[in-house]
A and B are shown apart, each in its own frame.
Chain A
Amino acid sequence: MIIRGDEPEQLRLLRKLYKPGNYFMQGNEAVAYGALFAGCRFYAGYPITPSSEIAETMARELPKLHGYYLQMEDEIGSIAAMVGASWTGFKVMTATAGPGFSLMQENLGYAVMTETPLVLVDVQRSGPSTGQATKGAQGDFFQARWGTHGDHPIVALSPTSGQDAFWETIRAFNIAEKLRTPVVVLFDGVLAHTREQIRIPDVSEVEITYRKLPANEEEAKLPFGDPHGDGVPPMPLFGHGYFTHVTGSTHKENGLRDVYTPEVHDRLVRRIHRKIEKNREVYERYEEHFTDDAEILVVSWGVTARPALGAVLKAREEGIKAGLFVPKTVHPFPGERMRELGKRVRVILVPEMNLGQMIIEVERYVNDDVLLKGVNKIGGVPLTVKEILREIRGVA
Chain B
Amino acid sequence: MANEIYSTYPMVKYLRKEALPTALCPGCGGGTVLNAFANAIDQLKLDPKDLVVVSGIGCSAWIASPYFLADTLHTTHGRAIAFATGVKVGLPDKKVVVISGDGDLASIGGNHLLHAARRNIDITVILVNNFIYGMTGGQLAPTTPFGARTTTSPYRNIEHPLQISETIAAAGASYVARWTTAHVYQLIESIKKALNVRGFSLVEVISQCPVQYGRRNRMKEPAEMLRWFLKNSVPVSRAKNMSPEELEGKFVIGEFVNRERPEFVTELNKLIDEVQGHFGLKED
Contact = CB atoms under 8 A, between A and B. Distances in A.
Contacts of A107: 76, 79
B259 interface: no
Interface in B137-162: none
A122 B48 CA distance: 38
A11 to B, nearest CB: 12
B52 interface: yes
B49 A64 contact: no
Interface string A10-26: 00110011000000000
Contacts of A82: 86
Interface in A57-85: 63-64, 66-68, 70, 72-74, 76-78, 80-85
Interface residues of B, number: 41
Contacts of B88: 84
Contacts of A245: 16, 65-66, 71-72, 74
Nearest to A249: B74
A84 B84 contact: yes
Given A9-B283, A63-B275, A84 B66 contact: no
Contacts of B220: none
Interface stretch (B89-97, B183-191, B244-252): B89-97
B75 A248 contact: yes
Interface stretch (A194-202, A236-244, A323-331): A236-244
Contact of B279 (A64, A70, A80, A83): A64
B90 A66 contact: no
Contacts of B66: 245, 247, 256-257
A170 B142 CA distance: 44
Contact of B91 (A16, A92, A239, A244): A239
A88 B90 contact: yes
Interface residues of A, number: 49
A42 to B, nearest CB: 7
Given A84-B90, A238-B71, A239-B71, A17 B83 contact: no
B41 interface: no
A94 B81 CA distance: 18
Contacts of A68: 89, 268, 272
B220 to A, nearest CB: 29
B281 interface: yes
Contacts of A87: 71, 73, 86-87, 90
Contacts of A17: 279, 281
Contacts of A254: 18
Contacts of A239: 52, 71, 90-91, 94
Nearest to B77: A106
Nearest to A3: B90
Contacts of A78: 82
B112 A106 contact: no
Interface centre among A84, A88, A106 (most CB of B within 10 A): A84
B85 interface: yes
Contacts of A16: 281
A93 B79 CA distance: 18
B46 interface: no
A110 B75 contact: yes
Contacts of B75: 80, 83, 110, 248
Nearest to A85: B86
Contacts of A74: 111
Contacts of B83: 80-81, 83-84
A64 B72 contact: no
B76 A42 contact: no
A13 B19 CA distance: 46
Top 6 A-B pairs, shortest CB-CB distance: A88-B90, A84-B86, A85-B86, A80-B82, A81-B86, A77-B82
Interface of A: 1, 9, 12-13, 16-17, 42, 44, 63-64, 66-68, 70, 72-74, 76-78, 80-90, 92, 106-107, 110, 238-239, 241-249, 254, 256-257
5 contacts: A17-B281, A64-B279, A80-B85, A87-B71, A245-B72
Given A68-B268, A72-B85, 20 more contacts: A9-B283, A17-B281, A68-B272, A77-B115, A80-B86, A80-B112, A83-B75, A84-B88, A88-B91, A89-B90, A90-B90, A239-B91, A244-B72, A245-B16, A246-B73, A246-B74, A247-B65, A256-B18, A256-B19, A257-B66
